[in-house]
Structure 1
Amino acid sequence: MNKIISFLLIVIMLASCSEYQKAIKSEDLAFKNKIANEMYDKGKYAKALRIYEQIVPAYRGKPNAERLFYMFSMAYYNTKQYYLAGYQFESFASNYPRSEKREEAAFLSAECFYRLSPKYSLDQTDTDKALTKLQSFIDTYPNSEYLPKANEYVKELREKLEKKAFEIAKQYYTISDYRLEYNAAMTALDNFIADYPGTPFKEEALFLKFSTAYKLAINSVQNKKEDRLILAKTAYNSFTKFKSDSQFKDKADQMLATIDKELQQFSK
């Protein structure tokens, strides 16, 4: 019995493959479309896509091709070809404004750019594009069922941009000891704090700003030292005001003690 079932399965598979090969070589658009849809329904998206790519040019601009273009876009999406899927979904939403799939297509187009966003250390051009697309979707469909997911993506992408900006500012801090470029590090950290006031990296950024101001003051020539020590103390106050129980508090207090000791020489 098992041998018979296995044989029948093999026959069905061979027939399916034979039909697929016929569709690839066929000039019959309806037949090709039928087989492509069958491949899609079976989850064989790469095979479906190969046929869709053959027939799409012939259906372009035709109002009765809505389902074809939707499945064509989804085939790209399901094979993780997000650049092409994003473009096709955007085109679908534009060409079929009355489609019940338009909202979904608009969201998936934006989501494709989200999925193309690289890790924070790389170029963030696609991240910026994704944020633009997602914000456009949120503005267009404020009551969409996809809104929570869109907002989640926006939050994640913004945090990624913040992390990249923070790491760049932090790099200025890291190299400042070697190049004695404390002013450049201070400027970079000030700009980051101003640009991202609600960032989760603010605590560390404020500490690094204080640390930079401290190093600048301690390493200053005598005629600039007092002013810079006072500036460092101001940075300390800003840091502790933001988070009095910071993980960096003990280290900051040690530096503050040194600042106060250095300031004593100017009070005589």
Structure 2
Amino acid sequence: MKNLFYILITFLVFSSCTEYQKALKSEDIALKFTKGEELYNAGKYSKANRLFEQIIPSYRGKPQAEKLMFLNASASYEMEDFYVSSYHFERFVSAYPNSEKLEEATFKSAKSYYELSPVYSKDQAETITALEKLQEFVNIFPESQYLSEANKMVKELDYKLEKKAFEIAKQYNRISDYKASIAAFDSFIIDFPGTEFREEALFYRYDSAYQLAMKSVEYKKKERLEAAKKYYISFKKDYANSEFLEAATDKLNDIEKELENYSTKS
């Protein structure tokens, strides 16, 4: 019985493969469509996709084209070929603005871009595109069943941009480009007012101003010391119990000593 079972399974697999190969080589576009849909429903997206790609040009302008284009885009999506699925879903949305699949296609197009978004340390061009696409989706379908998921993705993508901007500003501090660091932290604080990195950003902005002042040429030093002191006041005002306060205050003492020298000279 066990051998018979294995023989039956082998036969079914072989038969299925043979049917697929026949459909692949056939000139019958209806057969390719039917077999492709069958494979798609069975979760065999790669095989289905090959059949769909063969017949899309032949169905252009026909009633079946809408379903075919959606299945083709969905097959790419399920295969996690997100560059291709984003393109195909966008084409579908453009070609069939009145389709009952419009909401799903628009969402999956945006989600394809979301899936392409890299880790925060890499270039974030695709993250920005994904945010734009998701925002478009939310604007068009404010009552969508996918709204909660879309908002969650937007929040995650926003965090990547936030983290990226913070790390860039911090990196300028590490490499002693203090002017760039101050400017980057100024922009960061404005662009991300509710950021969880705000305390650290204010401290490193102050530290950059301190380092810049202490290493300045004489004719610029007093002005920069006073600017650094203002950054300290701003930091302490918002974070009087900060873990960075002791280090910040030690730097302030250095600033005060340097400023006293200018008072003595005058």
Please, what TM-score do these two structures have when normalized by structure 1? Answer: 0.91
Residue 244 of structure 1 aligns with which residue? 240
Q: Over residues 31-57 of structure 1, what are the superposed CA-to-partner deviations in whole Å (9 max), with x where a residue is unaligned?
A: 111111121121111111111111111
> Offset of 1:4 from its aligned partner?
1.5
2:169–2:180 CA contact under 8 A, matched in 1: no
The one-letter code of the counterpart of 2:194 is: G
Query: 1:207: which partner in 2?
Result: 203
Q: In percent, how many aligned pairs have the same letter?
A: 51
CA shift, 1:28, in A, is 0.8
- 1:217, CA displacement in angstroms? 2.4
Q: Residues 30, 238 of structure 1: CA spacing in aligned structure 2 closer, same or farther, 3 A cutoff?
A: same
Deviation at 1:236, TM superposition (A): 0.8
Aligned-pair RMSD on alpha carbons? 1.8
**Segment drifting more, 122-131 vs 139-148:** 122-131
Q: Which residue of 2 aligns with 1:113?
A: 113
> What is residue 54 of structure 2 aligned with on the other side?
54
Q: Summarize the Cα distance change of 1:65–1:222 in structure 2 as closer, same or farther, 3 Å threshold.
A: closer
Question: Which of 238, 257, 260 lines up with 2:256 in the alignment?
Answer: 260
- Among 189, 213, 216, the alignment partner of 2:212 is 216
8 Å CA contact retained: 2:96, 2:102: yes
Bigger mean CA offset, 184-193 vs 234-243: 184-193
Q: Distance in 2 between matches of 1:188 and 1:32?
A: 56
Counterpart position of 2:25: 25
Structure 1: segments with no counterpart, 5+ residues: none
- Aligned partners of 2:8 and 2:216: how far apart in 1? 87
Where 1:46 maps in the other structure, the secondary structure is helix
Please state if 1:129 is matched with 2:125.
Answer: no
Distance (Å, rounded) in 1 between the aligned partners of 2:18 and 2:114: 38
Structure 1 residue 91, shift from structure 2 partner: 1.7
**Partner of 2:98: helix, strand, or coil?**
coil
Equivalent positions of 1:174-189 (< 5 A) are 174-176=174-176, 181-189=177-185
SS at match of 1:63: coil
In structure 2, runs of 5+ residues without a counterpart are none
CA–CA distance in structure 2, aligned partners of residues 212 and 248 of structure 1? 14
Give the distance between the partners of 2:42 and 2:165, measured in 1 at CA: 45
Aligned partners of 2:79, 2:113: CA distance in 1, in Å?
Answer: 15
- Taking the aligned partners of 1:65 and 1:147, their CA distance within structure 2 comes to 28
How much does 1:127 deviate?
A: 1.4
Tell me by how many angstroms 1:205 deviates: 1.5
Shift of 1:267: 4.5
Residue 41 (1) aligns with residue 41 (2)? yes
Is residue 143 of structure 1 aligned with residue 139 of structure 2? no
**Deviation per residue, 1:212-232 (Å, 9 max, x gap):** 111222233455444332221
Distance 1:6 1:204 in 2: 64
